Amino acid sequence: MSNATHEAAAAALANSPTHHALPSYLQADNLGPWGIYLQQVDRVIPYLGHLARWAETLKRPKRALVVDVPIQLDNGTVAHFEGYRVQHNTSRGPGKGGVRFHQDVTLSEVMALSAWMSIKNAAVNVPYGGAKGGIRVDPKTLSMGELERMTRRYTSEIGIIIGPTKDIPAPDVNTNEQIMAWMMDTYSMNEGATATGVVTGKPVDLGGSLGRREATGRGVFTVGAEAANHIGLDISKARVAVQGFGNVGGIAGKLFAEAGARIVAVQDHGGTIYREAGIDVPALMTYVSRNGSVKGFVGAEVVSDDSFWDVECDILIPAALEGQITAANAGRIKARMVIEGANGPTTPAADDILHDRNILVLPDVIANAGGVTVSYFEWVQDFSSFFWSEDEINARLVRIMKEAFAGVWQISQDYKVSLRTATFIIACKRILHARELRGLYP
């Protein structure tokens, strides 16, 4: 985030009516993702009617656990990693959200990601609250054995607050099916019974769901296509630029390409590639799965990372990390529509610039909700031990995403607000209505 954006965020936060009442640990890092989330909540309070009296609930995570994760490295020494699991809200059901392994993970970031999960789960109306976890580590520096030991120790440490009816982790950045299998096994060993429903995003042979791996990208494509219809953009002729070519960006890119769109630019941690005639997406996917990044792919020209923001395109899909579209580059974006595959990729200042430039932003809290929707299907299938076909799963996913998007679009038209604010209005009302119905204990 730029300094100017930091200052704007600080000023907005200081003017928030409830700011003075927040405990210090919620303010300590208030200029990062958590501060952005608080601003987003403040924006919707005027639309919450009588439920606004409960809004403070949204500004405080229900529970935040910080754990030490010590493991023996292959060279015999002991390393300590910092792990987190935050349950932001459980008014509508158990906590639900991914686990991220990244060297920059902080408690503030995990708090924000858990809060966005509360919003997302309520936006698509799956019966979950919001949670998120992470370990501050660069997993690329670990051997397979070290990664497994770290995952298992972390799972055991957070085992006191997770469980199939309490909080259900899933994959996020740098975590995958194998890591979910280790988490499920560790939790099950500690419980003395196989508990497949403790995590989602598992391998299909271990209670995972068909279609889960592609679900987030499929959701990105589904809401993108719906929004394109509303603004008269023909997907089959669209030029698409994708940042992040992992689970979300790769699948979204593939589905847009299958619908006839040209994927003109792809950026990942290894570099940026461009091809005006359209990149061969299946070939790039094969290349990335073998080589770890787009770097060295011969089917496109290499361009500078910074030039990615100037690419002539109709649709831009940030699908890497948060804070990528900032006040510094939002003015350069040529797209008509930004679909947030990643969580929190657009800073509030950039959001305002895109809005002023009439660029439609499909916010993360609806655009990337396909993953948690199929995670919900996986959890239901695990409980019933009855598994559905991939066609059934994809059809239910598309139906839920289209219905949720239609509701968000309608609210944005009715109240003349952005799609992000509209999604927050729907989600916050659902969460706070549940809060009100349950009442305050004791």
* Residues designated as active site: 132
Reduce the DSSP state of residue 86 to 3 states and report it. Answer: strand
CB-wise, 325 or 327, nearer to ligand NAD?
Answer: 325
- CB of residue 320 to ligand NAD, shortest distance in Å: 3
> Whole-number minimum distance, CB 364 to ligand NAD, in Å?
7
- For residues 318 and 346, the answer to whether their CB atoms sit within 8 Å is yes
Smallest distance, ligand NAD to C-beta of residue 225, A:
18
Nearer to ligand NAD among residue 55 and residue 107 (C-beta): 107
Q: Indicate the angle between helix axes 390-415 and 370-384, nearest 10 degrees.
A: 140
Pairing state between β 315-318 and 337-339: parallel
**Does 174 sit near ligand NAD (CB under 6 A)?**
yes
**Interaction of residue 246 with ligand NAD, rule CB under 6 A:** yes
Nearest residue to ligand NAD, by Cβ distance, number only = 246
**Does 200 engage in binding with ligand NAD (CB under 6 A)?**
no
> Residue 436 in 3-state DSSP?
helix
- Pick the stretch among 13-21, 166-174, 276-284, 433-441 that binds ligand NAD (CB under 6 A): 166-174
**How far apart (Å, rounded) are the C-alpha atoms in residues 229 and 193?**
49
- How far apart CA 394 and CA 352 sit, in angstroms, is 34
Nearest to 95 by CA among 66, 61, 60, 67: 61
Identify the residue among 87, 155, 243, 421 touching ligand NAD (CB under 6 A).
243
Task: Examine residue 394 and tell whether it contacts ligand NAD (CB under 6 A).
Answer: no
**What minimum distance in Å lies between the beta carbon of 15 and ligand NAD?**
29
Q: How far is the CB of 28 from ligand NAD (least distance, A)?
A: 23
Site string for ligand NAD, 86-125 (x = CB under 6 A): ----------------------------------------
Q: In the bound complex, what is the minimum distance in angstroms from residue 371's beta carbon to ligand NAD?
A: 3
54 vs 154 by CB, closer to ligand NAD? 154
Pick from 86, 110, 254, 80: nearest CA to 173: 110
Among 40, 87, 267, 394, binds ligand NAD (CB under 6 A): 267
Shortest Cβ 247–ligand NAD spacing (Å) = 4
Residue 264 in contact with residue 278, Cβ under 8 Å? yes
Binding mask 338-367 for ligand NAD (x = CB under 6 A): ---xxx------------------------
Residues 268-287 that bind ligand NAD (CB under 6 A): 268-269
User: What is the C-alpha separation between 12 and 147, in angstroms, rounded?
Assistant: 41
State the angle between helix axes of 348-356 and 3-15 in degrees (0 to 180), rounded to the nearest 10.
100
Task: Give the one residue of 54, 128, 154, 245 binding ligand NAD; rule: CB under 6 A.
Answer: 245
d(CA 99, CA 83): 10
Asked whether 257 and 317 are in contact (CB, 8 A), the reply is: no
CB of 221 to ligand NAD, least distance (A): 13
How far apart CA 199 and CA 382 sit, in angstroms, is 10
Binder among 35, 97, 171, 211 for ligand NAD (CB under 6 A): 171
- Secondary structure of residue 50 in the 3-state scheme: helix
- Candidates 114, 257, 371, 382: give the one binding ligand NAD (CB under 6 A): 371
- In this structure, the number of other CB atoms found within 10 A of the CB of residue 263 comes to 28
Q: Check binding of 319 to ligand NAD (CB under 6 A).
A: yes
Strand bridging mode 78-89 / 63-72:
antiparallel
Lookup result for tokens 């359209």: 278
The smaller minimum CB distance to ligand NAD, of residues 47 and 424, is found at 424
Residue 311, burial from CB neighbour count under 10 angstroms (0-12, 13-18, 19+): buried
According to CB under 6 A, which one of 30, 90, 186, 247 is a site residue for ligand NAD? 247
Give residues 284-313 in contact with ligand NAD (rule: CB under 6 A).
293
Cα 363–366–372 angle (5° rounding)? Answer: 130
> Which of 249, 201, 236 has its CA nearest to residue 379?
201
173 binds ligand NAD (CB under 6 A): yes
Interface with ligand NAD (CB under 6 A): 171-174, 216, 243-249, 267-269, 293, 319-321, 341-343, 368, 371
